[in-house]
Structure 1
Amino acid sequence: MFETEYGFFTPDGREYVIKTPITPKPWINVISNGDYGFVISQAGSGYSWRTHASLNRITRWEQDLIKDDWGKYIYIKDEESGEFWSPSWKPVCKKPQDFKIRHGQGYSIFETRYFDIETKLTMFVAKDDPIEIWHLNIKNVSNKSRKLSTFTYLEWNLGAAPDWHREFHKTFIETSLLNNLNCIIAEKRMWEIPNEKGQNWNRSWEYTAFHAVNEKVSGAEGSKDKFLGRYNSLSNPQALLDSKLTNTFGKWEDSIASLKNDISLELGEEKTLIFLLGAVKKTGEKENLTSLIKKYQDEQNVKTELEKVKKMWEEMFSKFTVETPDKGLDFLINRWLKYQAISGRLWGRTAYYQTGGAYGFRDQLQDSQIFLYIDPEKTKNQIKLHAAHQYSDGSVLHWWHPISEIGLKNNISDNRLWLTFVTVKYLKETNDFEFLKEKVSFLDGGEGTIYEHCIKAINYNLERLSSRGLPLIGDGDWNDGMNAVGTEGKGESVWLGHFLYGILQEFSYVCQKVGDIKNKTRFLKEATTLKENINKYTWDGEWYTRAYKDNGEPLGSKNCEEGKLYLNAQTWAIINDTANQERKKIAYQSIKKYLFKDYGPLLFQPAYKTPDPKIGYLTRYAPGVRENGGLYTHAGTWAVLAAAKMKDPDTYNIYKSFMPIYRGMEPEKYLAEPYVTPGNVDGPDSPYFGRGGWTWYTGSAAWYFIVGVEGILGLKPDWNGLIIDPLLPEGWKEANVKRYFRGKLLNITYKKSSEKKILVNGKKLEGNLLNPKDYKEEILNVTVYY
């Protein structure tokens, strides 16, 4: 399905199969169990971590998407001919006789043939253990017996990454060989994060890393110098030329891990090696290195564990499924968007274009909306985690690091409001108002209920309005790149006005529900005034301005030469009803005319050609790149919601215009992976218009899922039930959705019809609001005639 010269989807969409290692950019998989994880590219490169991909990186890696030559590798050597290669592709880069890699959910599999030796390398992370497994099957398909050797190779990082001052960091690492386990272990006597006394550079790395194999080794190596040879490279290392490892370990090396195994294969014979990599805590956890290694040195345990991983993902995916005439939509909604949002954004929080590990206050809150369709309890837990990173005055950390809990507090003005936004979404999905009573501590002491946390977040913004009654932008709003608009305390955010208005309207209902009439009345009054001020001061004739600098100059005005029209200020005016119907029509037509392009809705136009120090770093990007006049996919998804609300018959075409599967059909233009959303696509001011980038680690995955479900399929949770209001493409005759909602299974069938009506278990629904409480049945069969 959707085949190009580089790859294709399997017919069920479960895997993306890459046919050549030389893809336009690294096409990766982010594999995580929620704590331990690794990234693997189609070439075989990548890195591993535990809990935090930057503070607790296990293996070394440098960001270079051109060379992609840092990773954990296996070499295979024919001892008679002297030829050697890798069962992936990197680092030797020999031309394969056959090559394919299958990226799936929770695993990647290399299937290659070099010099008449077939290999199948399956890589995955155990479901609940801090360990990754490389299951290597080697088969002799030549016409003679073969004597082979395998060598593994990885460089230890053990702590914060990148360890750019390697000559310093290597002096703290110690390695040793445990012969009885065929295992190299590595420890580090210094961790860059503060110790319990707050002292820097005075804490040991609190883990033991290990690299093991299931068969007796014929050699091992802990020295990069000995393995590579003087001034040599990974493509031609001395250890492979000499066919030996020196068993050099200790405290005095540039530390690596390499294990050598010897294999003899008769004609048609195959053998299996199992390589392990992981890290166990030294204290405070039931993690026994020996028992963990022995468990996964057993091949049957490995096979069982892989099935557990696959089953885990299948169970999550099965909670919400679609079947439509568009297989591209099905593949993304049923599998890849969920997987990207969970494994990449929520669990791994890292990828190739951005190696992260921290929690962003607004970021993972928005991502956690994906769990509303799968397991709302996990969204609830995410809300509580973020609430615990709020101060008692309502302000929050912009981001924070798990493990160290070090974070950044700044004055970016939208962060705290996402706590309230996602809480509202959770309440609409579950009707679980008891959740509002749960207590969570504040960062600076004391505790409050979730309800109180939300109220404080709203109040913090209401206390920071300009003299015109518009929200102050502070150090930026949703767009961090507008980091200089309001540094003097006078700059205003129009988008934030639209956003805050919606929060006030929605949360006033919550206030009423819990009996807080005082705040309900206050919020509605504030909302009315805010709406008046937005329409009085920021309507520019054909659209809303985006912001105002400290000196009062507008961004996103017809009077601006660059940055004339911004997307978000129009879409959220429509989404949250800040605009009246006439202005909605005018603003929507403006963005459709000027911003909706072949490859998706642009964030604004024209791009900035010259840096503007009164706006911020978004003007310093190259024109058309990322936030500077490109498609910023996260914002593009909101344009789909606006189009759906305007009942634009082109809504699905707008959605499809930046669907990665279809964009991936032009791989030389698009470059990015076709199975996950990109953070951005270059706009028309770039010579690479249509080029994708910053894949995987982007908030657009969850949102692209949501707007597909709410905007196209029209399934929108509301206070009293599920609104069913589809906007399906003209050519669709039928579609199906399986969805759980408030304890009931909904089997929804859409049918094209001249008569619009909704049947629930054969009975006509009055209106389009389905409340599961009105039905005794556990399964509701819903037919939507549209």
Structure 2
Amino acid sequence: MEQIRSAFRTYGYFSSDGLEYIITDPRTPAPWVNVISNGDYGLVISQAGSGYSFLTHASLNRITRWEQDLIRDEWGKYLYIRDLETGLTWSAGYQPAGRDLEDYRVRHGLGYTVLEARRAGIAHSLTVFVPGHDPCELWILRLENKGSQRRRLQVVSYFEWLLGAAPDWHREFHKLFIETWYRADAGLLLATKHLWELPAGDEIGWNRSWPYVAFHTASPAPSSFEGDKRAFLGRHGRLEAPQSLTAPQASNTQGRFGDAIGSLRVEVTLDPGESKEVVFVLGAARNEEQALSLGRKYQDVTRAHEALRQVQRFWRELVGSLTVKTPDEALNRMVPWLIYQAVSGRLFARTAYYQTGGAYGFRDQLQDSLIWLLLGRPERTLEQIKLHAAHQYREGIVLHWWHPLAETGSKSDYSDDLLWLPFALLYYLRETGDFAALEERVPYYDGGAGTLKEHALKAFEVALSRRSPRGLPLILGADWNDGLNAVGKKGRGESVWMAHFLYFLLTGWSELPVLDAATRERFQTEAQSLKAATNLHAWDGEWYWRATTDSGRVLGSRNSPEGKIFLNAQTWAVLSGLAPLERARTALASARKYLYQPYGPLLLAPAYTRPDPEIGYLTRYAPGLRENGGVYVHAACWAVLAERKVNGVGSAYELWKSFCPAHRGQDADAYQAEPYVMPGNVDGPLSPTPGRAGWTWYTGSAAWNLRAIVEGLLGLEATLEGLKLEAQLPEDWDGYRVIRRYRGTTYQIRVRRAEPGEARGLWVNGKPWDNPVLPQAIGEVLSVEALV
């Protein structure tokens, strides 16, 4: 553990239990944030104390204003601490007035963040979190007088109201609709907006009110409040030193005629050695009555702490659902953070710092939801599947994305989107054996309803109808790689990756006992047709090419001047089983030769150096960034799984380590991004900063990385027959332990190297077991030992 801690000494380190990342220097290379959400209300907070809050949708229903400036990171919700005797003022966090703080550190935890520091003899800690079920956030500020003199302090909150669709670039317009008022009887500052620019696709348009009441309160009762930005800052004022703080009290401005902010002042007196706590509450309620109720509830410090304990208990139990212990401490530390990132960041909040989203992506959250299967909570995956099925049209096409609240979206012309529904169902069925779920009826987006099985079969029908004359799938508006958005717009371009993906699904579904004989035979026939066409037309000699354009131009070929080889066309040739074994080996060897870098496998190489309108916006990225010749980490996780299938765990582990944040982040200035969560991408060799990571938190790589660990490194895979263990060890591992729940059985698994004279094999509850598919015992704990 000390080795891991010292490796991150520049800016921070993992706590001893791995459930916190402790930042000791706020001047990190980029904002290092936490994404905190209960599935409806959420917030994002950086190590500097900046960030924003939202309800249900981070872009359409933002509570506080925030500007995406990852260099300055100076927009947020802040607490000032002012000594009423000396006038000295500072902030609880590094922003906006905390540059002289002593002993500053930030503890990003699962469901909470704590900012700790000292200034002028006052020690303070600010704990920020979201209660488990209420639409609000709590800030618990603890103040302690370390000196020998009595101290009179004033604590002042500050943020800007947004109350609707973000960003509100035309603030001079939007501020005209915000109204604030103060309930002195409850110490509650309230706000609403008389306009909500919701893109609901109806005739109301910009003629609706924001249907919530935002609120801000504190304990003890505020001595004064401020609702106007100019009154708070002063003309040309700065957040570092607001002019109003020099006055004993705020101006108590409220109404509709200013630039709306939320600011409360509370007074705290501390004797020498004394400590006190102040709770601030910010939220958005259905109406004023609920706002009053929630405000009063959490003005109680005891209730606030109980809510914090409940949040911490929830996340600890969730990440404890899958326990992994290996000789690689970085891997062990990543597992709970991958779970937390996928659930809190991708499924609950659907937003972060690099991308402030809020919508559902049809393929995105379906893939993310597969993480529930690894945590023994398959019912949550099924809920997500049904939600997405309800955004499929009767014809089988789906929405590429849609907005909750507005329930509007974009009808997909992507070739792959609709197939992620049967993909998620296939994984759900392998995990649970719950074939009855296929008979659950779910509405279609445009009316009517069908069983989940019917939804899936409609997706197959559409996909099978989209074929070129030589039998390869059409790419249409794009496939998984959104940047190939010009390749097949005229309906002639082909996708080799889609051939692999569709083959994988056809063969997987043909094994399900719920298909009738005619459908099973058809799927098997179509799969063999795809396999033959792909191996006949798409093999380039040493690898599979990636796509053809409408004009017939081949992408990802040795004859391509740029973009000669694409990663997904090689890895999915392996994962799908479409490639014959020798071709699978050759394809991965080519990927290793041309794509693998010390910081992960590139999505394609070489990068495109100039825009190509026949390919799409992928070529318009700077060379080496994101999909254009960078490491797209989502796809890198698939490469780990492919390596395991062809070359064994040693190759899979070496590739996995190359892009693991907890390993890469040991050179934090070069890596730049948070070392405790997955990035979306890493710069490739044509970037001036190869190996630099970005686009953290809001990426599908978290859930896939966890699966790459469980299946690719630990050898545990759910099958229709049961949980399968293919035990292998990397060369420098002596063993590992994992606790995995599956179909009501808890498996406590230990894999280790056999000692001299020991027989290799598998034992269950101390008895020999000669099948890699483990037995099941609902409600029981099975002890499994594998000697290799």
Task: Tell me the TM-score range normalised by the shorter chain.
Answer: over 0.9
CA shift in 2, pair 1:215/1:777, >3 Å: closer
Mapped contact 1:194–1:202 kept (Cα < 8 A): no
1:304 aligns with 2:309: no
> Which of residues 34, 55, 58 in structure 1 aligns to 2:60?
55
Paired residue for 1:290? 292
Paired residue for 1:202? 207
* Higher mean C-alpha displacement, 157-166 vs 229-238: 229-238
Paired residue for 1:580? 580
Q: Which amino acid aligns with 1:104?
A: G
SS at match of 1:148: strand
Paired residue for 1:391? 393
Matches within 5 A, 1:221-620: 221-282=226-287, 288-333=290-335, 335-374=336-375, 375-510=377-512, 513-620=513-620
Q: Which amino acid aligns with 1:621?
A: Y
- Measure, in 2, the Cα distance between the counterparts of 1:213 and 1:401: 33
1:107 aligns with 2:112: yes
* Higher mean C-alpha displacement, 725-734 vs 539-548: 725-734
Q: Deviations over 1:382-436 (max 9, x none)?
A: 0000000001111000000001101011301111111111100000000000000
SS at match of 1:49: strand
- Measure, in 1, the Cα distance between the counterparts of 2:206 and 2:586: 59
Q: Which amino acid aligns with 1:691?
A: R
Paired residue for 1:188? 193
Give the Å deviation of 1:264.
Answer: 2.1
Mapped contact 1:711–1:727 kept (Cα < 8 A): no
Mapped contact 2:743–2:778 kept (Cα < 8 A): no
1:725 aligns with 2:730: no
| Equivalences, count | 778
- Measure, in 1, the Cα distance between the counterparts of 2:387 and 2:453: 14
Give the Å deviation of 1:141.
Answer: 1.2
Q: Deviations over 1:129-151 (max 9, x none)?
A: 11100000111112322222111
1:14 aligns with 2:13: no
Paired residue for 2:83? 78
Give the Å deviation of 1:196.
Answer: 9.3
- Measure, in 2, the Cα distance between the counterparts of 1:94 and 1:595: 43
TM-score by length of structure 1 reads 0.98
CA shift in 2, pair 1:658/1:194, >3 Å: closer
CA shift in 2, pair 1:681/1:281, >3 Å: same
Mapped contact 1:651–1:727 kept (Cα < 8 A): no
Give the Å deviation of 1:726.
Answer: 3.0
> Which of residues 168, 171, 179 in structure 2 aligns to 1:166?
171
Mapped contact 1:747–1:782 kept (Cα < 8 A): yes
1:761 aligns with 2:762: no
Give the Å deviation of 1:515.
Answer: 4.5
- Measure, in 2, the Cα distance between the counterparts of 1:777 and 1:179: 55
- Measure, in 2, the Cα distance between the counterparts of 1:302 and 1:437: 44
Q: Deviations over 1:457-500 (max 9, x none)?
A: 11111111111111110111001011000111111111011000
Q: Which amino acid aligns with 1:640?
A: V
Unaligned segments of structure 2, at least 5 residues? none
Mapped contact 1:77–1:150 kept (Cα < 8 A): yes
SS at match of 2:748: strand
SS at match of 1:337: helix
Q: Which amino acid aligns with 2:643?
A: A
Q: Which amino acid aligns with 2:733?
A: W
- Measure, in 1, the Cα distance between the counterparts of 2:778 and 2:504: 34
SS at match of 1:137: strand
SS at match of 1:540: coil
Mapped contact 2:49–2:93 kept (Cα < 8 A): yes
- Measure, in 2, the Cα distance between the counterparts of 1:336 and 1:569: 29
Mapped contact 1:669–1:691 kept (Cα < 8 A): yes
Paired residue for 2:704? 703
SS at match of 1:391: coil
Q: Which amino acid aligns with 1:499?
A: F
Mapped contact 1:195–1:203 kept (Cα < 8 A): no
Mapped contact 2:415–2:474 kept (Cα < 8 A): yes
Q: Which amino acid aligns with 1:759?
A: W
Q: Which amino acid aligns with 2:604?
A: F
Give the Å deviation of 1:197.
Answer: 5.2
Give the Å deviation of 1:194.
Answer: 5.2
* Identical amino acids, percent of aligned pairs: 52
- Measure, in 2, the Cα distance between the counterparts of 1:509 and 1:263: 68
Q: Deviations over 1:577-597 (max 9, x none)?
A: 111011111111100111111
Q: Which amino acid aligns with 1:602?
A: L
SS at match of 2:784: strand
Mapped contact 1:647–1:727 kept (Cα < 8 A): no
Q: Deviations over 1:524-550 (max 9, x none)?
A: 101001111101111000000011011
Q: Which amino acid aligns with 1:352?
A: Y
> Which of residues 127, 130, 134 in structure 2 aligns to 1:125?
130
Unaligned segments of structure 1, at least 5 residues? none
SS at match of 1:651: helix
Mapped contact 1:644–1:727 kept (Cα < 8 A): no
- Measure, in 1, the Cα distance between the counterparts of 2:664 and 2:507: 38
- Measure, in 2, the Cα distance between the counterparts of 1:196 and 1:63: 27
Q: Deviations over 1:762-781 (max 9, x none)?
A: 22222311241xx5782211
SS at match of 2:489: coil
TM-score by length of structure 2 reads 0.97
Give the Å deviation of 1:756.
Answer: 3.4
SS at match of 1:519: helix
Q: Which amino acid aligns with 2:413?
A: N
- Measure, in 1, the Cα distance between the counterparts of 2:518 and 2:86: 84
1:623 aligns with 2:630: no
- Measure, in 2, the Cα distance between the counterparts of 1:414 and 1:185: 46
Paired residue for 1:691? 692
Paired residue for 1:656? 657
Give the Å deviation of 1:728.
Answer: 2.4
Give the Å deviation of 1:441.
Answer: 0.6
- Measure, in 1, the Cα distance between the counterparts of 2:340 and 2:743: 23
CA RMSD of aligned residues (A): 1.3
Q: Deviations over 1:588-609 (max 9, x none)?
A: 1100111111001110111111
Q: Which amino acid aligns with 1:206?
A: P
Give the Å deviation of 1:181.
Answer: 1.5
SS at match of 2:695: strand
Mapped contact 1:222–1:248 kept (Cα < 8 A): yes
CA shift in 2, pair 1:243/1:555, >3 Å: farther
- Measure, in 2, the Cα distance between the counterparts of 1:175 and 1:491: 55
- Measure, in 1, the Cα distance between the counterparts of 2:78 and 2:328: 39
SS at match of 1:257: strand
Give the Å deviation of 1:11.
Answer: 0.9
